[in-house]
Amino acid sequence: MAESSPLEDFVDRRRRLFILTGAGCSVNSGIPDYRDADGAWKRPPPVTYQAFMAHAATRRRYWARSLVGWRRIRRARPNDAHRALARLEMMGKSEILLTQNVDRLHQAAGSEVVIDLHGRLDHVRCMGCERVSPREALQEELERSNPNWLALEAVVAPDGDADLDGVDFSDFAVPACERCGGVLKPDVVFFGENVPRPRVEAAMRHLDDADAMLVVGSSLMVYSGFRFVEAAARAGKPVAAINLGRTRADHLLALKAEQTCGAALAFLL
């Protein structure tokens, strides 16, 4: 019999896990992560909420890049890490899967009890009337209104944004809300924007009911995720993490596996 890993023992010993996932989980699905092994940005930091809401030019640039980036995101399929975590839920071991990812790949793999902490990229929200509509419908409109932009290819980012350097975005047409004419924004939490409080509170209630926490593929550099590790540590619940490289919570971890998410969780498949 193969010897079990410390991580397998950790999972075996717990009844209900509070699972927090990040970009590292989706790397093998072709969605790159944001940060290198030292937790520093690999690419220019993403657009902020304040810049997006304040400047039409920022929105043109965002949607032009997203027109390109969305093609990759919508083609992405779950990998072994997503499948392993869906299996953990089937085993009754998952109290909640709280994900910082906006790609919906956990749901595509079969996880049902999921909170999308930072929202979902396949939805668009009107900042005027709150109407939510499918990103795919906006994609069709973006393509119809901007035929000259369809041939662009670029490097895509985890939030569906893409690197397009030295491009003039001034003639890019950005659709407005068809109901109220308001500003359309992807239904994701931008940098500089707060996670909606009810969403945080719902996740915290799940943490109360969990007996341990498992972090999968996150450097925890963003406070919205890190605060759950702090809360788990305060409550005396052990925290294990799978991450290639440093995390902000290294000093709080009971166990750390410096492996890819798929490899570390392979014992579940």
Quick check: 173 binds Zn ion (CB under 5 A)?
no
Q: Establish if 179 lies at the interface with Zn ion (CB under 5 A).
A: yes
Q: Residue 110 or residue 128: which is nearer to Zn ion going by CB? A: 128
Q: Interface with Zn ion includes 17 (CB under 5 A)?
A: no
Length of the chain: 269
Residue 124 beta carbon to Zn ion: minimum distance, rounded to whole angstroms: 10
H or E element at residue 200: helix 197-209
Residue 96: CB partners within 8 Å, gap ≥ 6? 18, 19, 113, 114, 115, 203, 206, 207, 210
- Given 82, 106, 118, 206, the catalytic residue: 118
Query: How many residues lie near Zn ion (CB under 5 A)?
Result: 8
User: Could you give phi then psi for residue 26, rounded to 5 degrees?
Assistant: -100, 0
Residue closer to Zn ion (CB basis): 133 or 139: 133
d(CA 259, CA 13): 21
Q: Does 180 bind Zn ion (CB under 5 A)?
A: yes
Q: Is 126 in the site for Zn ion (CB under 5 A)?
A: yes
Nearer to Zn ion, 127 or 266 (CB): 127
Q: How far is the CB of 178 from Zn ion (least distance, A)?
A: 8
Name which of 19 and 138 has its Cβ closer to Zn ion. Answer: 138
Q: Which helix (H) or strand (E) holds 95?
A: strand 94-99
Is residue 240 within 8 Å of residue 10, measured between CB atoms? Answer: yes
Burial (CB count <10 Å: 0-12, 13-18, 19+), residue 254: middle
Q: Which is nearer to Zn ion, 32 or 128 (CB)?
A: 128
Q: With binding defined as CB under 5 A, does residue 128 bind Zn ion? A: yes
Tokens of 248: 């902000």
Tokens of 91: 């085993």
Residue of 182, 191, 238, 267 interacting with Zn ion (CB under 5 A) = 182
The reply to whether 118 belongs to the active site is: yes
Rounded to whole angstroms, how far apart are CA atoms 217 and 196? 23
Minimum distance from residue 176 beta carbon to Zn ion (Å): 8
DSSP tag of 33: -
Q: Near Zn ion by CB under 5 A, which window of 74-82, 117-125, 176-184, 234-242?
A: 176-184
CA-to-CA distance for 99 and 97, rounded, in angstroms? 6
**Smallest separation (angstroms) from Zn ion to the CB of 59:** 15
Residues that bind Zn ion (CB under 5 A): 126, 128-129, 131, 177, 179-180, 182
* Active site positions, annotated: 118
